[in-house]
Amino acid sequence: MIGAFEPAAPTVYESAMRILCLLSLATSLYACASREPREEPRTETARTDSTRGNEGRGATEQTEGANMAPERRQQAGQAEGAERAGEIPAPPDVAAPPADAQREPSGLASKVLQPGTGTEHPRAADRVTVHYTGWTTDGRMFDSSLRRGQPATFPLNRVIRGWTEGLQLMVVGEKRRFWIPEEMAYGGRPGRPQGMLVFDVELLEIERAPEPPPVPEDVAGPPPDAERTESGLASKVLRPGTGSRHPTATDRVEVHYTGWTTDGQMFDSSVTRGRPATFPLNRVIPGWTEGLQLMVEGEKRRFWIPPNLAYEGRPGPQGTLVFDVELLRIL
């Protein structure tokens, strides 16, 4: 949806959805396009939306073009070409941040184009609605919500680092230009805009995320009273359930969950997204497939999942993972 989206570490829910996408491409194209948060941005290459000839140009305009210095003729030609292709012309300082740009220790540079009317800044977990346009430093526009005529809405912690940091500097109503170094953008990944990227961003709305659940006191390791299975999975019931049936490995379940690494860093939470996750139980990490079969509806349980039952050897959070899981429904 947006040229700044950056995939985060795969979540349990996202892993399940990816496998389902592979099983049915036609279905996944619809599902992955409509699911939030989206993992990958859409970076659009400008397409020709309209063409315009030279009819109606006066002799004065043509003479002025002929008398332009070569540099000015080149710039004018680029702007005219961009207009014909439906692009938004690049700003004059697209090649590099000017001397009066605000610079952060991370290397991010920005400049306020229009002061805001709000007073609150978004936090990393909040959802924001913005209008934006992005260019490479040679002036090529690669994405724009303005050209699509529709603002973009997304969780701020699901985009490239330059956006996550930069938009927290803004207030509602503000328009700001960002110069985002490559390491805070796509890091040279093939198929993505390369090098430093320049964005004009207008912050339209902030939707506050729910407060994240507190880090468990026993996040570093299972306590002595935790249940342990032969596989090495440990768990502890936090709240008894109201149901009597346990899900099987082939059932679909609906859950709320939060995940932490053992140093207390939260890496995923359906709670902060404000939306439960639904997936087939045999399409998630092995620790979840095994652990949720111990639960009944209404139960809340904490799991300590060893690396071999989590993401060991695959993209995702590494080491032992701790999850608080509430089983809402067996579908």
CA distance 199 to 236: 47
pTM (2 d.p.): 0.56
Give the helix/strand (H/E) hosting 134: strand 127-136
Which residue among the candidates 142, 257, 279, 323 is catalytic per the annotation?
142
Residues 89, 75: contact at Cβ < 8 Å? no
Which residue among the candidates 143, 200, 268, 324 is catalytic per the annotation?
143
Give the confidence band of 167 by pLDDT, cuts at 50, 70, 90. Answer: very high
* pLDDT value, residue 187: 93
Question: How buried is 66 (Cβ within 10 angstroms: 0-12 exposed, 13-18 middle, 19+ buried)?
Answer: exposed
Per the annotation, the verdict on 142 as an active-site residue is yes
Higher pLDDT, 158 or 3: 158
Out of 28-42, 226-240, 285-299, 300-314, pick the least confident: 28-42
Q: What are 262-298's pLDDT values in tens digits?
A: 999 999 999 988 889 999 999 999 999 999 999 999 9
* pLDDT value, residue 158: 85
Give the confidence band of 26 by pLDDT, cuts at 50, 70, 90. Answer: very low
Q: Looking at the predicted structure, is the pLDDT value of residue 40 above 60?
A: no
In the numeric block, the tokens 């592979």 are attached to 22
Higher pLDDT, 64 or 21: 21
Backbone angles phi, psi at 263, to 5 degrees: -90, 5
* pLDDT value, residue 18: 56
Give the confidence band of 206 by pLDDT, cuts at 50, 70, 90. Answer: very high
Per the annotation, the verdict on 199 as an active-site residue is yes
Query: Hey, how many other C-beta atoms are within 10 angstroms of the C-beta on 35?
Result: 14
CA distance 279 to 25: 17
Out of 70-74, 90-94, 162-166, 232-236, pick the least confident: 70-74
Residues 101, 178: contact at Cβ < 8 Å? no
The terminus-to-terminus CA distance of the chain in angstroms comes to 30
Mean of the pLDDT values across residues 169-188?
97
Q: Looking at the predicted structure, is the pLDDT value of residue 24 above 90?
A: no
Residues 281, 251: contact at Cβ < 8 Å? yes
Question: How buried is 133 (Cβ within 10 angstroms: 0-12 exposed, 13-18 middle, 19+ buried)?
Answer: buried
Query: Hey, how many other C-beta atoms are within 10 angstroms of the C-beta on 15?
Result: 19
Mean of the pLDDT values across residues 167-173?
98
All domains of the chain in start order, with CATH: 12-46+91-207 (3.10.50.40), 227-330 (3.10.50.40)
* pLDDT value, residue 272: 86
Contacts of 62 (CB under 8 A, 6+ apart): none
Per the annotation, the verdict on 160 as an active-site residue is yes
Mean of the pLDDT values across residues 126-150?
96
Per the annotation, the verdict on 19 as an active-site residue is no
Both structure tokens of 139? 């002036």
Which residue among the candidates 160, 206, 305, 330 is catalytic per the annotation?
160
Per the annotation, the verdict on 251 as an active-site residue is no
Mean of the pLDDT values across residues 237-245?
97
Out of 53-57, 147-151, 181-185, pick the least confident: 53-57
Per the annotation, the verdict on 154 as an active-site residue is no
Which residue among the candidates 5, 13, 132, 178 is catalytic per the annotation?
132
Q: What are 61-97's pLDDT values in tens digits?
A: 333 333 444 444 444 445 445 444 578 999 999 999 9
Both structure tokens of 141? 């526009």
CA distance 165 to 228: 41
Which residue among the candidates 154, 178, 186, 257 is catalytic per the annotation?
186
Higher pLDDT, 218 or 212: 218
Give the confidence band of 25 by pLDDT, cuts at 50, 70, 90. Answer: very low
CA distance 1 to 152: 7
Counting residues of the chain whose pLDDT is more than 90, the rounded percentage is 68
